[in-house]
Chain A
Amino acid sequence: MSKTETALRELAQMDELAAGDSPVHRLHPLPKLVLTVLYIVLVVSFGKYDISGIIAMLLVPVLLYQLSGIPVRTCFFKLRYVLPLVLAVGIFNPFFDKAPLLAIGQVKISGGVVSMITLMAKGILSLMASFLLMATTRLDSLCSALRKLHVPSLLVTLLLLTFRYVGLLTEEVAVMSEAYHLRAPGQKGIHISAWGSFLGQLLLRTMDRAEDLYNSMRLRGFNGDFPYAAPPRFSVRDLLVLLLGAAVLLLLRFVPVASMLGSLLVR
């Protein structure tokens, strides 16, 4: 299977994952969206040395991945291109912050190492939460939830089309790249001298296709709203899920659960 086919298949697999059936899939998209955003905000808000707090936040995705039936390895596999970037964020901290912060036995660990691990953990947890949202909620349902939150129609349509556009872009890259390599045998990649025209042509071709796709949507009545993806009415149960979820997240953020458990064990 070519790289392009693999990429297209992986994109389509997101739709297949989202079409699954589990307690997490069945949740109303609105609380899922709000709780994911809240989770990310809370994770990011931890101090740079607060590694124990972050560990407590790990409980949430671990539990939800189990409940949704989505293997964590699928998340890491799909995010394999982004994860190195996330991991690279704090990589220089140990060089700038060398003051010892804690010790494990005889080994002293500097603040830089702790802050690097904290930063990486924040990134990984945020990605895990975002992926879980995407993998358990159809994109159009998500867009519908965004519209319910009064996010402008233009932005939501842009999000939807971008997701659909990535597939077209990948296909066009594959076709053009194949055409290039058939006339440049033995050449690895695309020569730098051809980059300009390659990218220009790619942009023009994908714009044409994206326009066709958008026209096809408009011709079938699309006007920026998502009635076909409208979730069921927001019920009292959904409100309870939202409130309870928010309470748990706030508890994990502001009560030092990990430290308390640790001190219990040490006693």
Chain B
Amino acid sequence: MLDLQNVSVSYEKGKPVIKDLSFHINKGESVGLIGANGAGKSTLMKALLGLLPATGRILVDGMAVEKANLPAIRRRLGYVLQDSDDQMFMPTVLDDMVFGPMNYGLSRAEAEEKAAAVLARLSLSDLAGRQNHRLSGGEKRMAAIATVLAMEPDVLLMDEPTSNLDPFNRRIVINTIGSLPQTRIITSHDLDMILDCCTRVILLSDGRIAADGPAGVILRDKALLEAHRMELPLSLSRL
């Protein structure tokens, strides 16, 4: 589904933030992208979406991330931003949900049908007509996920999906993410959530892959995590 070959990304010439990364993500996999601040997680996400220029080769479902393919690629990749306020820019939840599908050629009626189906699946039907600025933090995060799901992406990229949420809403978001059938790439410092939602973890450190393997193995490796400025998930550190 996603294939990266020798990918490097730089904001300034000669100072790459992502350094010669290569990995492959299969369809249906759920991958946690973890690493300390500045490790390059968000930069990598943006490169996958074609928001930042990268050297090397990034393939999404066999298509190279390049200008001509961006509309098709962005239709396959759904990106949930860390700050839901930046994602929800339309007046109501429903308006936000039909925004993407209609940009891709669906009629209003078709887009609303898709939106209603997604809201029903997430048990959020009552949010449809709500004004975005009147949603609570948890509702807004769920609505942001719904806006992306309405585009029926094959891959979900999520940037810190549980940040700034109270425990109750965090659990709702985790359960929702866990129930989604799409291929998922999740960046987060919430390692308990990664442990719950992901089967595989890629640990980034200084723009390179420090470890890549089963979540249950990497997230239990205290020495590895501490060597890269991280800690064991709380649920494991108590054991």
A residues bordering B, Cβ < 8 Å? 8-9, 12, 15-16, 18-19, 138, 140, 164, 168, 171, 209, 212-213, 215-223, 225, 227-228
Contact = CB atoms under 8 A, between A and B. Distances in A.
A228 B111 contact: yes
Interface residues of chain B: helix, strand, loop or mixed (majority): helix
Interface in B44-87: 46, 49, 51, 71, 74-75, 77, 79, 81, 83, 85-87
A262 B83 CA distance: 61
Give the interface centre of B103, B111, B134, B151 by most chain A CB atoms within 10 Å: B103
A201 B214 CA distance: 42
Contacts of B81: 212, 216
Give the interface centre of B71, B89, B90, B103 by most chain A CB atoms within 10 Å: B89
Given A209-B86, A228-B98, A220 B49 contact: no
Interface of B: 46, 49, 51, 71, 74-75, 77, 79, 81, 83, 85-87, 89-92, 95, 98-100, 102-105, 108, 111, 131, 133-134, 147-148, 151
B71 A12 contact: no
A220 B146 CA distance: 13
Interface residues of chain A: helix, strand, loop or mixed (majority): helix
A220 B97 CA distance: 10
Give the interface centre of A19, A164, A221 by most chain B CB atoms within 10 Å: A221
B91 A8 contact: no
Given A19-B92, A212-B83, 18 more contacts: A8-B133, A9-B133, A18-B91, A138-B91, A164-B89, A171-B85, A213-B89, A216-B86, A216-B87, A218-B74, A219-B77, A220-B74, A220-B147, A221-B100, A221-B104, A221-B151, A225-B103, A228-B99
Contacts of B108: 228
B89 A219 contact: no
B133 A212 contact: no
B74 A219 contact: yes
The 5 A-B residue pairs with the shortest CB-CB distance, nearest first, are A221-B103, A220-B100, A228-B102, A15-B91, A212-B86
B89 A217 contact: yes
A18 B92 CA distance: 12
Contacts of A19: 91-92
A221 B75 contact: yes
A221 B71 contact: yes
Contact of A220 (B51, B86, B92, B103): B103
